[in-house]
Structure 1
């Protein structure tokens, strides 16, 4: 049995959070030598390296597991404090979540608001196709992701599917798609991406044209501004149906093609050994996700 001392695990977590041995030492109010000694003792207990001494430091898979343990231990300690002293003033459990921009912009925040009085939340914004890495590394306790298979040490549950509609402004449609959104017109019409990780528009292009198209591109990395850029006629793009429906009904947007859409399945993954607070957040997210198809 591997015996991991809590101080050693928390020291590794502090190194990752603050970026260096010296910064972790300052945060923990110990010497840099003490930090180094704890890491060496931890690696001796684990039997392999827990980090790569780069700038900034990088965790090995074993180090990721130890950091998850350290943060789970902090959550369980908060649960214990609440159980031993119910009603006493506590600072509240701190939880870091990874949520993609569209979910945060359209439906997830309402769920999180329901638990904001009992949990301190840090929300990391990351594309749903890339969020698992932050979960694996121990940087976050839970994530909304497109991956159904549970990451190591985590559980996974389906939330639903986010439906996206390809839309543009009416003036843009008249200028570029007067004869319809054909492969030829889609190859020329400017398209808007959230950032360089966003491949939703390219997925739609591949599915609708069966070709590799390279139209002019704009990048607008903020959810509200992304939608506004489409409404202002900078280009076409995929908007969540939740957001696009009202604009379509009032004529501020038009669909590229009737009944055309792209569904993105979403899953909630969280540390398997979490806490009552993490389970409460998961329940709130599931309640909010009922708006998804």
Structure 2
């Protein structure tokens, strides 16, 4: 059985959080030599390296597991403090979550607001196709992801399906799609893309044409501004159905093809050995996700 001392695990977590042995030492109020000794003792206990001594340092797979353990231990310690001293938890529990921009912009934030008085939240914004890496690394306690299979040490629960519709303004449609949204017209009509990780628009284009289409692209990496770029007529793009349904009814926005959609399944993954605070946050997110399909 591997015996990991909490002090050593928390030291590794501090190195990762602050970027170096020296910065971790300042945070922990110990010498850099003491930090090095703790890491060496930890690697002896684990039986393998826990980090690569680069700048900034990089964790090994074993190091990720140890950091996750350290952060879970902190959450459990906060639970114990709450049990022993009721009312203490709001000032002590901190949770880091990974949530994609569209979920934050449309449905997730009201759920998180319901627990904001009980926990301190740090929300990392990352595309749902890439968020799982932050969970695996121990950087976050939970994440919204497209992956249903639970990551090591985590549990997975289905949230629902986020449906995206290809939309634009009526004026843009009249200018570029008077004959319909075909492969030929979509190849030349400007499109709005969130960032270079964003594959939604290309998923739609692949459904329209077997050949790769490369229309002019505007990159707008913020959920609100992405929608505003479409509303200003800069291009077409895919927006969540729950965001644009009223605009489609009012005809201030039109669909390129009423039958077209891109469905993105969403899952909530969190550390299996979490805390009462993490479970409260999970319950709030799952309740808010009832707006999804």
- Pairwise same-fold verdict (TM > 0.5): yes
| Aligned residue in 1 for 2:233 | 233
Name the residue aligned to 2:53. Answer: 53
Taking the aligned partners of 2:236 and 2:66, their CA distance within structure 1 comes to: 45
Decide whether the 8 Å contact of 2:90 with 2:118 is kept in 1: no
Residue deviations 1:199-254, cap 9 Å, x none? 00001100122221111101000100000000111010000001111111222211
Residue of structure 2 equivalent to 1:287: 287
1:151 to 2:179 alignment: no
What is the match of residue 106 of structure 2?
A: 106
Partners of 2:142 and 2:50 lie apart in 1 by 22
Does residue 278 (structure 1) correspond to residue 278 (structure 2)? The answer is yes
Distance of 2:25 and 2:207 partners within structure 1: 53
Secondary structure of the residue aligned to 1:91 is helix
The answer to whether the 8 A contact 1:159-1:267 is kept is: yes
- Any idea what the Cα deviations from partners look like across 1:87-114, whole Å, max 9, x if unmatched? 3575131000000000000000010000
Confirm or deny: 8 A CA contact 1:142 1:268 kept in the other structure. yes
Task: Give me the TM-score of the superposition, normalised by structure 1.
Answer: 0.99
Asked if 1:40 corresponds to 2:40, the answer is yes
- Measured at CA, do residues 49 and 125 of structure 1 come closer, stay the same or move farther in structure 2, by a change above 3 Å? same
Aligned residue for 1:118? 118
Task: Please give the alpha-carbon distance, in whole angstroms, between the structure 2 residues aligned to 1:208 and 1:13.
Answer: 47
Contact kept, 8 Å, 1:205 with 1:211, in 2: the verdict is no
**Partner Cα distance (1:237, 1:42) in 2:** 50
Write the deviation string for residues 33-90 of structure 1: whole angstroms up to 9, x where unpaired. 1111100000000000001111111111100000000000000000001111223575
For 1:86, the equivalent position in structure 2 comes to 86
1:124 CA drift (Å): 0.1
Q: Over aligned residue pairs, what C-alpha RMSD do you find?
A: 0.9
Once residues 129 and 275 of structure 1 are traced to their aligned partners in structure 2, the CA distance between those partners, rounded to angstroms, is 26
Q: Distance in 1 between matches of 2:209 and 2:290?
A: 32
Task: Identify the residue that residue 250 of structure 1 maps to in structure 2.
Answer: 250
2-side partners of 1:215 and 1:4: how far apart?
Answer: 54
Structure 1 residues without counterparts, runs of 5 or longer: none
Unpaired runs of 5+ residues, structure 2, are none
Asked if the contact 2:90/2:120 (under 8 Å) is kept, the reply is no
Alignment correspondent of 2:183 = 183
Looking at structure 1, the residues matched to 238 and 92 of structure 2 have their Cα atoms a distance apart, in angstroms, of: 38
Does residue 96 (structure 1) correspond to residue 96 (structure 2)? The answer is: yes
> What residue in structure 2 maps to residue 195 of structure 1?
195
**CA offsets per residue over residues 242-280 of structure 1, 9 Å max, x none?**
111111122221100122111000000000000000000
Counterpart of 2:213 in structure 1 is 213
CA distance in 2, matches of 1:135, 1:10: 17
Are the aligned partners of 2:160 and 2:292 in contact in 1 as well (CA < 8 Å)? yes
SS at match of 1:239: strand
